[in-house]
Amino acid sequence: MFEENYKVVVLGAGESGVGAALLYKSRGIEVFVSDYGKIAEKYKIELEEHAIPYEEGTHSTSVILRASEVVKSPGIPEKAPIMQAIREQGIPVISEIELAGRYLKGKVIGITGSNGKTTTTMWLHHILSEAGLRVGLAGNVGFSLARQVITDDQPEYFVVELSSFQLDDMYQFRVHIALLMNITPDHLDRYHYNFEEYALAKMRILQNQTEEDAFIYWGEDEFVSRYVMMHQPMPMHLLPFLTYPQVGSAADKSDDNMMRLHFEGKSFEFPIDQLALQGPHNLQNAMAASIAALHIGVSEDVLTRALKDFVNVPHRLEKVGVLDGVRYINDSKATNISSTYYALRTMTTPYVLILGGEDKGNDYLDITEQIVSGARGLIFLTTDVLKLYKAFHGKVKHIASALSMEEAIAHARQMAQPGDTVLLSPACASFDLFTSYIHRGDCFREIVQDLIRKQGKHD
């Protein structure tokens, strides 16, 4: 049993938690790390190398409740017993992002939203890197922000993907340029199944902005538009983007299929069919990233090149290969209904859709019409198929369930015809059968590519 009094405790020993612990340690602050699960070996080694005490498989309440501050991993829900005890004790709880903000020297470009934030984060990071700026990547992608501010030699900008869970425990952290892609129902199980509560968590990205800062947002999002209207005047520069021509927008789409930017005396046009990533959702991602880049001062030449040559992140409409004349696409990062909705909009062939996982309060009516009109078959990859069967039974001719990726792909091969697409876009979290959406997508890719290799040997 640990008997020492620690000034701070970090709950969760993933990338963000270990980054936070290292930052505390670098400032001479006694820190203890507690993880209710199993800590990855690489993080154990790191904690031991820096003489940071830790525990796994339990939370020692007697130790944790003596802390004067707690950093909570975004993955720990408020309903967890340890969090209820901490709240009852009145101990301040912050996110790793909030901690890092105390030591930040560069400017922060924060990106949030229900969908598109990872692609936009990576695309903007690519643009700024191509422009020769020193830029860090943090949040839900890259290394933890806390880890990157341990040294005083910091980048000019940090591009930070921010989830609602990180924003929940953010108080003084300032986002100099905020990008809000959209707000659609997601993670409602963490917000009392209340959309308004979830949406307001997203809006916390604005809470410390000043007249020197900028807010880039999708002007067609009903909640965000209403929020902006109700909170006028707002101190920051408002830079909305739209997918139709509109006076006052920072970016829009012309009738001749051009992406147009026009704000702060700047003007820029780019053919939509030349964007590195296609589809209506990627047009929105490109608009948001382009506004931020031009606002900072990136040249038109650099922006033009980076809009064309960006390579998308894995697990986001990732083309895996062609097997028996059927395309296989890995969209494992689609962990909510809206992400799957956008993926289905990119389909130009009949498809077999692999759905399911840990449901976060989904309403499948939002994608039923698309699926009924375009799906050749459905495969439910989950331990809990009842809700999915209720939503789609009798509406799609071929339906099967699977408890492993191998089984799901075997079903898909039986259903799909040459020229079709097999799309893994689950609309659910991965945690019932996989450790993460990355693990789920990796399994999909590896199995398909192994089948392609084996087929090649027999041809």
pLDDT in tens, 184-232: 776 666 666 778 888 898 999 999 999 999 999 999 999 999 999 999 9
With a cut of 60, say whether residue 181 has pLDDT above it: yes
Packing angle of the helix pair 437-458, 405-415 (nearest 10 deg): 50
Sign of CA dihedral 310, 180, 109, 15: negative
Q: What percentage of the chain reaches a pLDDT higher than 90?
A: 77
Residue 102 CB: number of other CB atoms within 10 A?
Answer: 13
pLDDT at 2: 55
| Domain(s) of CATH 3.40.50.720: residues in the chain | 8-94
Lowest mean pLDDT among 96-110, 120-134, 188-202: 188-202
pLDDT at 140: 77
pLDDT at 213: 98
pLDDT in tens, 225-277: 999 999 999 999 999 999 888 888 999 999 899 999 999 999 999 999 999 98
Pick the CATH number of 8-94 from 3.40.50.720, 3.30.565.10, 3.30.420.40, 3.20.20.80: 3.40.50.720
Q: Residues with Cβ < 8 Å from 446, sequence gap 6 or more?
A: none
Distance, C-alpha 165 to centroid of its chain: 11
- The mean pLDDT value of the chain amounts to 92
Distance CA 128, CA 293 (A): 7
With a cut of 50, say whether residue 297 has pLDDT above it: yes
Q: Is 119 annotated as a binding residue?
A: yes
pLDDT classification of 156: cutoffs 50, 70, 90? very high
Q: Is 117 annotated as a binding residue?
A: yes
Q: Is 362 annotated as a binding residue?
A: no
Between β-strands 8-11 and 31-35, what pairing exists: parallel, antiparallel or unpaired?
A: parallel
The whole-number average pLDDT for the span 166-195 is 85
Sheet containing strand 8-11, edge to edge, reads 54-56, 31-35, 8-11, 69-72, 93-94
Q: Which residues pair with 31 in a beta bridge?
A: 8
Indicate the fold that domain 318-458 takes in CATH.
Protein-Tyrosine Phosphatase; Chain A (3.90.190)
The DSSP secondary structure of 120-183, one letter per residue, reads HHHHHHHHHHHTT--EEEEESSSS-HHHHTSSS---SEEEEE--HHHHHT-SS---SEEEE---
Q: Which has the higher per-residue pLDDT, 91 or 118?
A: 91
With a cut of 60, say whether residue 109 has pLDDT above it: yes
Phi, then psi, of 295 in degrees rounded to 5: -60, -40
pLDDT at 1: 46
Task: Look at residues 384, 338, 332, 383 and name the one whose alpha carbon lies nearest to residue 364.
Answer: 338
Q: What is the pTM of this model?
A: 0.74
Task: Look at residues 150, 158, 9 and name the one whose alpha carbon lies nearest to residue 76.
Answer: 9
Q: Is 118 annotated as a binding residue?
A: yes
Q: What percentage of the chain reaches a pLDDT higher than 70?
A: 97
Structure letter (DSSP) for residue 236 = S
Between β-strands 258-263 and 214-218, what pairing exists: parallel, antiparallel or unpaired?
A: unpaired
pLDDT at 348: 85
Distance CA 140, CA 167 (A): 12
Rg (CA), the chain: 23
> Does residue 180 contact residue 214 with C-beta atoms inside 8 Å?
no
pLDDT classification of 390: cutoffs 50, 70, 90? very high
Q: Is 113 annotated as a binding residue?
A: yes
| Domain(s) of CATH 3.40.1190.10: residues in the chain | 98-309
Indicate the fold that domain 98-309 takes in CATH.
UDP-N-acetylmuramoyl-L-alanine:D-glutamate ligase (3.40.1190)
Distance CA 54, CA 279 (A): 46
pLDDT at 184: 78
With a cut of 90, say whether residue 77 has pLDDT above it: no
What is the dihedral angle through the alpha carbons of 383, 389, 395, 397, rounded to the nearest 10 degrees? 50
Q: Is 5 annotated as a binding residue?
A: no
Q: Is 163 annotated as a binding residue?
A: no
With a cut of 90, say whether residue 361 has pLDDT above it: no
The whole-number average pLDDT for the span 401-423 is 97
With a cut of 70, say whether residue 23 has pLDDT above it: yes
> Does residue 92 contact residue 107 with C-beta atoms inside 8 Å?
no
Q: Which residues pair with 293 in a beta bridge?
A: none
